[in-house]
């Protein structure tokens, strides 16, 4: 039988924090959308996380904005499988059912005391971004909880 | 756990994503040099400390990151309403008189 859930480190990626009040081609808050060769995640009314292939140079943005390379600040975990939502739900106080947390929704929140960015990439697939120094704890907490599934 | 409505995310979110940031609608005096020490002390330290309806600042720090304001009853801990930073106190610029219809 296949594992109900797998937890894997995501490959290296380029990450940029984008702040602008004149968003063009960017998703609204709490949503994600394709952006260049990757994705943009709407974290706040004027804040986006750009996830792009490793080595991508800073994208050109129109208008007044701030763009910061945060590629080395984060690590990401890919949590996938039929029990992925159940596993993450153990540490997150948001309702992760599909009607309130649909595919492509993204938000900053807290998992077991660690600030994360939670992005639902599929019905049974999530990407969790965390600051590098917290990622080890996050990984251990998820693996521990997965043992109880 | 309390659920708090963030007016920017437009969702009710768990209390642990938020930080409290004191009483709302306290404007920094434009000319501190013209103030007496007593007036400056009042600006810095003296707060309403309401028993009942209180207008206060919160920050969705582990969410969208934005500051916003809330009307909370300090006796019941019930959030009557939240609203975006920079807009007038509910009841001043609109017809809001109480809880009804204000909560999402
Ligand atoms: Zn928010």
Enumerate the residues of chain A whose CB falls inside 8 A of the CB of residue B8.
29, 44-45
| Domain harbouring B48, CATH code | 3.30.2270.10
For the cut 50, the answer to whether the pLDDT of residue B104 exceeds it is no
Q: Mutate which of B10, B12, B17 to disrupt the A interface (most A C-beta within 10 Å)?
A: B17
In the reported structure, the alpha carbon of residue A45 is separated from the centroid of ligand 1 by a whole-number distance in angstroms of 8
pLDDT of residue A1: 58
Concatenating the DSSP letter of every residue in chain A gives: ---S-EEEEPPPEEEEEEEESS-SS-PPTTBEEEETTEEEEEEETTEEEEEEETTPPPPP--SSEEEEE-TTTEEEEEEESTTHHHHHHTTB-S--STTTS-TTBEEEEEETTEEEEEEEEETTEEEEEEEHHHHHHHHHHHHHHHTT-
Domain-located, residue B90: no
How confident is the model over A10-22, as pLDDT tens digits? 999 999 999 999 8
Is the CB of B19 inside 8 Å of chain A's CB atoms?
no
> Would the CB atoms of A109 and B63 count as touching at under 8 Å?
yes
Domain-located, residue B24: yes
Instruction: Give the Cα separation of A97 and A66 in Å (integer).
Output: 34
Domain-located, residue B11: yes
pLDDT of residue A149: 87
Task: Show the domain range for B43.
Answer: 3-84
In the reported structure, the alpha carbon of residue B40 is separated from the centroid of ligand 1 by a whole-number distance in angstroms of 33
> Would the CB atoms of A110 and B16 count as touching at under 8 Å?
yes
Tell if the pTM clears 0.90, that is, is over it: yes
Q: Which domains, and CATH codes, for chain A? A: 6-10+73-146 (3.30.1360.120), 13-69 (no CATH)
By CA distance, what is B63's nearest residue in A?
A108
How confident is the model over A94-127, as pLDDT tens digits? 999 999 999 999 999 999 999 999 999 999 999 9
Which of A5-9, A89-93, A138-142, B93-97 has the weakest average pLDDT? B93-97
> Would the CB atoms of B14 and A94 count as touching at under 8 Å?
yes
> Would the CB atoms of B64 and A47 count as touching at under 8 Å?
yes
pLDDT of residue B49: 92
For the cut 80, the answer to whether the pLDDT of residue B99 exceeds it is no
> Would the CB atoms of A109 and B11 count as touching at under 8 Å?
no
pLDDT of residue B54: 95
How confident is the model over A69-85, as pLDDT tens digits? 999 999 999 999 999 99
CB A63 within 8 A of CB A127: no
Domain-located, residue B73: yes
Number of domains in chain B: 1
Q: Give the mean model confidence (pLDDT) for residues A16-45.
A: 97
């Amino acid at each position: 039988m296949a594992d109900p859930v797998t937890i894997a480190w995501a490959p290296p990626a380029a990450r940029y924090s984008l702040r602008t009040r004149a968003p063009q081609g960017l998703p609204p808050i709490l949503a994600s959308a394709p952006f260049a060769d990757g994705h943009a995640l709407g974290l706040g009314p004027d804040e986006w996380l750009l996830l792009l292939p490793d080595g991508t140079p800073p994208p050109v943005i129109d208008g007044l904005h701030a763009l910061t390379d945060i590629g080395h600040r984060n690590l990401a975990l890919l949590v996938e499988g039929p029990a992925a939502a159940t596993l993450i739900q153990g540490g997150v106080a948001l309702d992760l059912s599909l009607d309130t947390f649909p595919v492509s929704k993204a938000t900053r929140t807290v998992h077991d005391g660690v600030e994360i960015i939670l992005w639902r990439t599929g019905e049974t697939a999530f990407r969790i971004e965390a600051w590098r120094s917290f990622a080890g704890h996050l990984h251990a907490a998820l693996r521990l909880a997965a043992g109880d599934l | 756990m309390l659920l708090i409505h963030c007016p920017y995310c437009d969702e009710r979110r768990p209390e642990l994503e938020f930080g409290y940031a004191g009483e709302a609608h306290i404007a920094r005096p434009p000319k501190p040099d013209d103030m007496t020490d007593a007036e400056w002390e009042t600006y810095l330290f003296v707060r309403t400390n309401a028993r009942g309806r209180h207008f206060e600042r919160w920050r969705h720090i582990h969410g969208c990151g934005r500051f916003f304001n809330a009307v909370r009853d300090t006796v019941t801990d019930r959030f009557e309403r939240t609203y975006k930073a920079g807009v007038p106190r509910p009841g001043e610029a609109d017809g809001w008189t109480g809880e009804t219809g204000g909560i999402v």
